Structure 1
């Protein structure tokens, strides 16, 4: 693999970016971006070039808050302010409503291992859809407003208000929807966030061992699923995405929200992106920062590694943390693609 290169996508969204997701194999160069401009954008990185082409865009009725691919690169699922979970056929452009919530849908994730699509809404429910045998979704009530959602091969992590974290066992959810159980499954584990402030993002480790969460107050926590004293003793949290305040302003730190987390699919390291306009790479096991990238022109809103681990996509746009009353991402939204060098995301000392 050649040394790292960085280039930008043409034709970015005209407003803030809410989410970014890469396609599964065999189309790892494709990725989706959802935006507050009511569109979902499908891009493709041209192999062997520093070019990102806009393949198509799919208009929605309201701002789109999240997007993910399904079992292949031809289907996508969206969650948005229109309170609907929508399936998009990326080849034909056809949109199908899978379910409706009574409030905006904040998150949507797909579990390839179990053919489940899970949506989380501000109406305090999860909708669990079986895509292998379509039926009415399994509805699970939540004790708090969901803000972030992530799936590992066997677990689903739901981060909510009041520092609530519920972890569900995906095989149990799959069994419940197949059996049409009248009693919704209870969480496999219920936890209190290690972070003192509102959770901004959650990302599960690809090896199914645990997850990372981030908060609006410049911190990231790393935890493991195994509920043993030894495993729980390994969890830790650290400060990040902060800048030193000028001495004439009293010194100290200017603290920014950590908006995005994503794990490398091969090496298990992870990237974070914050309101300070930076992205960083971290080694979760060694508890150390591996790399700090240059400051980007705007807040980092979303991140994603391609499923072959070759690319890191970084979505930047003005951040709401600046307190702007007349918000606009027009002309200030950027999608940067970094083609990683051979060892860039590889933990030090690994073979």
Structure 2
């Protein structure tokens, strides 16, 4: 007897054909909060800037008029910083939600397949080989390609680590998602050891590599936005169309396959798109942890488990969290700044422990 064509009801996932439930209040709250936080991030900082200065800077920047004083601070420093934060947070948020769906594990995050370790290794190699470390680290050099050495190496290292994990998992004969996770752990451990070795050989680079590993939006500008946006936008767009297939995956891979869903290519595509989006932003801002872990989990409780709504909501929520965290990093110890990765870790660490404790409490004896 042939299985039914429609999805089977299951407590593990929503009906893939049913319309996504509309919950306008959380959406409105996120959009309003994101707008307000972004506006405050343009106005508030170590240098006082008025609202009129912000509006004047926007007008001058859009029309191409000369920038000076407060207008230059807003347009050349704060605006690209906010925009990069929006792009990076959205990419990390939606990547985390998609990977949690494909692995069916709320503890999955964008760095699960070795992207972070690979990017850090690539950045460490570039910093050790580069002759002009400050320019290479900030990526703001206008002359030559030196300023893009670290981001390019980090991007290549991140994608290379994911590819190595996939090849290792397939070579070992593994076809389960857990095999890829284990391969990512192995690749990440090897690359972390190699990075540590490079840092020990070149002590002058230790601080730069360590600072990069914490994540920082303080050194970004318009060049970083132009480099991060294409890959982050493409990867995020590919993930957005995977909402319905991810809903089917929640009912089990066998059920999804019985519905005609190509489970293997779907998993590969989701992992590739998430890795592209993550590597694109990590290469520019460093490793910013817990955004892709915390945001999807919170929004799943507010919006439900339908990935047609959860994926775009995680993009908005990730952007909100990262811009707000960066604002806190800027004003917490003025006039100095904290790396934004420190702030997200301080927020996400306790939340991760809560998830572990909650999992233990609901575990079967």
TM-score, scaled to structure 2: 0.26
Structure showing greater relative contact order (alpha-carbon pairs closer than 8 Å, 6 or more residues apart): 2
The answer to which structure has the higher strand fraction is 1
Bigger radius of gyration among the two: 2
TM-score, scaled to structure 1: 0.27
